[in-house]
Amino acid sequence: MRYIISFILLLCFSTTFYGQEVIDSTMPPAPKFFDTYLQTQPGYGTIQIKQDERISNLIDTHIALNIQNESKSSGWRIQIYSSSGAESRKEAQDVRNRFLSKYPNQTAYVIYQPPFFKIRVGDFRTREEAYMLYKQIIQEFPISYLVTDNIIYPKL
């Protein structure tokens, strides 16, 4: 009886081993981490790595994500426009152009979060930096407010 129950449990659990799908990632190719250690160099020994291929894929995916997000960090922006509707895309572009004509040294981003088009301006590391610009633009863009966002650091 014990063998029959063990056999039935083994059959039940054996189907779950193949239940997960492997989904292709559409990330940019990244350098292979373990390939650098497998290259032979004169005067050095050789390394043989025995591991599941999924570990290499996981590390390579992690490296690709870090490369993709290396210049982004949490910071502050000012949202000066948000609307949905038939003409909201054109209105958003008009607001963006009006802002950039008055503040050419700032950055302005058109963000689409369905069904809203939003305009967020600036890349500020602190709330205080964002507030200084906010005080300048509040008269012309009265619905403006500060928001946290992933900002892009300027190139040095």
Contact 34, 49 (CB under 8 A): yes
- Residue that is written with structure tokens 């709330």 in the block: 127
Domain 73-149 sits in CATH at 3.30.70.1070
Contact 90, 98 (CB under 8 A): no
In 25-110, alpha helices (H): 35-38, 53-68, 88-102
CA distances from 155 to 7, 60, 70 (A): 63, 25, 12
Indicate whether 23 pLDDT > 80: no
**All structural domains of the chain with their residue ranges:** 26-68, 73-149
pTM of the model: 0.57
- Residues 13-20 have a mean pLDDT of 50
User: In which band, very low, low, confident or very high, does the pLDDT at 16 lie, cut at 50, 70 and 90?
Assistant: low
User: What is the pLDDT at residue 42?
Assistant: 81
Q: Is 82 helix (H, G, I), strand (E, B) or coil?
A: strand
Percent of the chain having pLDDT more than 70? Answer: 75
Q: Are strands 145-152 and 108-113 parallel, antiparallel or unpaired?
A: unpaired
Indicate whether 15 pLDDT > 70: no
Contact 133, 107 (CB under 8 A): no
What tens digit of pLDDT does each residue of 95-147 get? 999 999 999 999 999 999 999 999 999 999 999 999 999 999 999 999 999 99
What tens digit of pLDDT does each residue of 70-79 get? 667 889 999 9
User: What is the pLDDT at residue 10?
Assistant: 62
Contact 108, 123 (CB under 8 A): no
What tens digit of pLDDT does each residue of 55-67 get? 888 888 888 887 7
